[in-house]
Amino acid sequence: MLDKTKKDWWKSAVAYQIYPKSFQDTTGSGTGDLQGIIRRLDYLKTLGVDVLWLSPVFASPQVDNGYDISDYRAIDPMFGTLDDMRELIAEGKKRGIGIMLDLVLNHSSDQHPWFLEAKKSKESPYHDYYVWRDGTPDAPPNDMQAAFGGSAWEWVEEIGQYYFHQFAPQQPDLNWENPAVRREIYDMILWWMDQGVEGFRLDVIDQIAKEPDEGITGNGPRLHEFLRELSANTFQKGCLVTVGEAWGADTERAKLYSAPDGSELSMVFQFEQMVLDQQKGKEKWDLAPLPFAEMKKSYAKWQKELHGTGWNSLFLNNHDLPRTVSRWGDDKEYRVMSAKALATMLHGMQGMPYVYQGEELGMTNIRLPIEKYRDLETLNLYRARKEQGVPEEEIMRSIYAKGRDNARTPMQWDDGENAGFTTGTPWLTVNENYHTINAKAALDDPDSVFHYYQKLIALRKQYPVFVHGDFTLLEAEHPQLFVYERSYEGDRLLVVCNLSGQQAAYALPQGWEDSEVLIANAEGGLDGTFSPWQAMILYKAKV
Ligand code: TEU
């Protein structure tokens, strides 16, 4: 177990993201719950993870599956009670697993008591908790668009003003310029720290310092000032791991966020690689092939730039992204091989790896008729593109490739009814491939994706070079192979991944032929031929 009294214990940790709604139901309601997570803690312990990031479980009308919080100190009854949360924290601690809560601090639900008061009158002390502008019903302050479509301004007739919402109208943005808002947030975080949580993920944190009159939402001028104040008043009072979601982060900004002095956060999620397979300047739905060399160079840049100056987060999946094995791997013939190859590519790097539920099983995307989708982003997109006259097939192709429900289908535990997720009716369709892709089968199979992840996670704990080593990209232009070296105090790793469905010829660099194979997803390779999706990590100890 990691020594969590050390400030930077998380540098050798591995996190696992749970989407609670889809993880494990214990009541037959069709949605997952906290008791379900407790039931599966031993499974997670077997995998070897140290931190559990839970997507929001706070009280919420669930317009955006909990990313619209109506009470930051209460658990939504759908998931259980505060006592269940306390039990989860305690049971996690027994197993060396800390709980990381997902705080949505950029906006609240429109059902939050603050907002209900705020919209009653301009004189309410809560009015200034949100972002308001004057206007007339037919003329919003400007033409800023919400991330989920439509204007970012919503008219409130009663007080004759517009409020600003970056996401759905039911997610009004909080006004961080108001010190009273900031104080409320600090008190709430301190309260959760008292409950024993070990970390926080901060939703869209790069959006909090907005200047909507200037059209600025991300990376506003006061962003890092706010973060330093937040951190000094809360996180720095304990030994926490914190990660901010920052779509707008480049490496320079990431160095501020994740400065080694701990003045802001431990790290951020950046998305530079995740937007490569879309047409430049367009939306994620506007598909384009992954530019492989560009992807490698982008990872290499982040690895190099943040080495010694910040910290990376490493992820290929989350609740907003499609399943990587379907996206960048091969979810058919080479599903197991490609899932392992992509994992090797990522887990060999420096930073904190995040495994998203089901990734360790090689779970795949899903294709559903439109009426079966539940995600508001997907449904809004469908409606909007229909109105624009985009052909049905093209819209569905985008949704199959990038829709958020790909990641949100229920966790596949076994080959029983509803994959062992629920005895009721699942809130979102279970992927029919659960008969073969499920945790029980994976645990029984020594060659499963699960056991491969288990080994990758264990290697990080065993060899300091995984945690501390520097990074050198090799074969930058090779169209199939992702190859890099890590090195730390004379210890070296060579990571070679064939990320293609074709054989690749590759002679190992001199001196590596007789090295130790720490992990590999197939035999061979050392003779210069890599089979489709073959990957391995080689090790050489200091001489
Ligand atoms: O996502 C941030 C965000 O910018 C999303 O709009 C993201 O771009 C989109 O999901 C990609 O398809 C966070 C949460 O992760 C997401 O689940 C929430 O819906 C969103 O914030 C609003 O809170």
> Which protein residue has the closest C-alpha to ligand 1 atom 9?
320
Q: Return d(Cα 48, Cα 42) in angstroms, integer.
A: 10
Sheet of 491-498, strand order: 470-474, 481-488, 491-498, 535-540, 516-520
- Residue/partner pairs of 228-231 with CB below 8 Å, 24 or more apart: 228/263, 228/264, 229/182, 230/182, 230/185, 230/186, 230/189, 231/262, 231/263, 231/264, 231/265
In terms of Cβ atoms closer than 10 Å to its own Cβ (0-12, 13-18, 19+), residue 65 is buried
Would you call 470 a catalytic residue per the annotation?
A: no
The model's confidence at residue 305, banded by pLDDT at 50, 70 and 90, is: very high
Catalytic residue among 68, 245, 330, 375: 245
Q: How far is the CA of 321 from the centre of ligand 1 (A)?
A: 10
In single-letter form, the type of residue at position 472 comes to: T
Shortest-distance atom of ligand 1 to CA 148: 6
Question: How far is residue 363's CA from residue 331's CA, in Å, rounded to a whole number?
Answer: 9
Q: What is the pLDDT of residue 55?
A: 98
Answer for the pair 515, 485: CB distance below 8 angstroms, yes or no.
Answer: no
**Residue having the nearest C-alpha atom to atom 14 of ligand 1:** 203
Q: Which atom of ligand 1 lies at the shortest distance from residue 68's CA?
A: 23
| Distance (Å) from CA 247 to ligand 1 centroid | 9
* pLDDT tens column, 122-166: 999 999 999 999 999 999 999 999 999 999 999 999 999 999 999
CB 68 within 8 A of CB 58: no
Closest atom of ligand 1 to CA, residue 402: 12
Nearest to 450 by CA among 387, 540, 357: 357
CA-nearest residue, atom 2 of ligand 1: 204
377-422 confidence digits (pLDDT tens): 999 999 999 999 999 999 999 999 999 999 999 999 999 999 999 9
Residue 262 in tokens: 């701990």
* Strand ranges inside 386-534, DSSP E: 470-474, 481-488, 491-498, 504-505, 516-520, 529-530
Residue pLDDT, tens place only, 164-185? 999 999 999 999 999 999 999 9
Which helix (DSSP H) or strand (DSSP E) does residue 15 occupy? strand 15-18
Catalytic residue among 68, 198, 203, 277: 203
Q: Whose CA is nearest to atom 23 of ligand 1?
A: 67
C-alpha 320 – ligand 1 centre gap (Å): 6
Whether the per-residue pLDDT at 527 is higher than 90: the answer is: no
pLDDT per residue over 475-510, tens digit each? 999 999 999 999 999 999 999 999 999 999 999 999
Q: Which structure tokens are listed for 354?
A: 């995040």
pLDDT band at 514 (very low <50, low <70, confident <90, very high): confident
DSSP letter for each residue of 350-417: SSEEEEETTGGGT-------GGG---HHHHHHHHHHHHTT--HHHHHHHHHHH-THHHHSPP---SSG
Mean pLDDT in residue range 21-26:
98
What does the pLDDT read at residue 1? 83
Give residue 42's Cα distance to chain centre: 22
Distance 384 CA to ligand 1 centre (A): 18
Do strands 491-498 and 504-505 pair parallel, antiparallel, or not at all (unpaired)? unpaired
pLDDT (0 to 100) of residue 533: 98
**Could you report how far apart the first and last alpha carbons of the chain are, in Å?**
29
Q: Whose CA is nearest to atom 1 of ligand 1?
A: 204
**Average pLDDT value for residue range 281-301:** 98
Give the closest residue (by CA) to ligand 1 atom 6: 147
Give the Cβ contact number of residue 425 at 10 Å.
10
The strand pair at 535-540 and 516-520 is best described as: antiparallel
Spatial separation of the C-alpha atoms in residues 274 and 332, rounded to whole Å: 22
245 in active site: yes
Look at residue 528 and give its three-state secondary structure: coil
* Best probe residue, ligand 1, of 21, 167, 313, 356 (max atoms within 8 Å of C-beta): 167
Dist. CA 450–CA 413, nearest whole Å: 12
**How far apart, in whole angstroms, are the C-alpha atoms of residue 436 and residue 507?**
36
Tell me: pLDDT of 432 over 90: yes
| Ligand 1 center–CA 237 separation, angstroms | 29
Q: Is the pLDDT of residue 239 over 90?
A: yes
Distance (Å, rounded) from C-alpha 424 to C-alpha 347?
37
Indicate the length of the chain as a whole number: 543
- Pocket test of ligand 1: the residue of 204, 206, 269, 377 to mutate, having most ligand atoms within 8 Å of its CB, is 204
Partners of 100 in the β-ladder: 53, 199
Q: Is the pLDDT of residue 513 over 90?
A: no
User: If you measure from the C-alpha of residue 312 to the centroid of ligand 1, how many angstroms do you get, rounded to a whole number?
Assistant: 20
Band the pLDDT of 520: cuts 50, 70, 90.
Answer: very high
Task: Report the nearest-CA residue for atom 17 of ligand 1.
Answer: 320
State the average pLDDT over residues 76-82: 98
The pLDDT mean for the chain works out to 97
**Distance between Cα 491 and ligand 1 center (Å):** 40
Residues whose CB is less than 8 angstroms from the CB of residue 91 and which lie 6 or more positions away in sequence, other chains included: 38, 41
Query: Separation of 203 CA from ligand 1 center, angstroms?
Result: 8
Q: Residue whose CA is closest, atom 11 of ligand 1?
A: 320
- 502 touches 532 (CB < 8 A): yes
* CA–CA dist 96, 15 (Å, integer): 12
- What is each CA distance from 34 to 76, 85, 142, 188, in whole angstroms? 10, 7, 42, 21
Give the model's pLDDT for residue 304. 98
d(CA 26, CA 79): 10
Residues with CB under 6 A from ligand 1: 64, 67, 104, 147, 167, 203-204, 245, 247, 284, 319-320, 377, 404
Rounded distance between C-alpha atoms, residue 269 and residue 353, angstroms: 11
State what percent of residues in the chain have pLDDT above 90.
Answer: 98
Cα 332 to Cα 335: distance, rounded to the nearest angstrom: 5
What does the pLDDT average to over 108-126? 98
Q: Assign 3-state DSSP to the chain and report helix, strand, coil percentages, each to 5.
A: 35, 20, 45
Q: Which atom of ligand 1 sits closest to the CA of residue 67?
A: 23
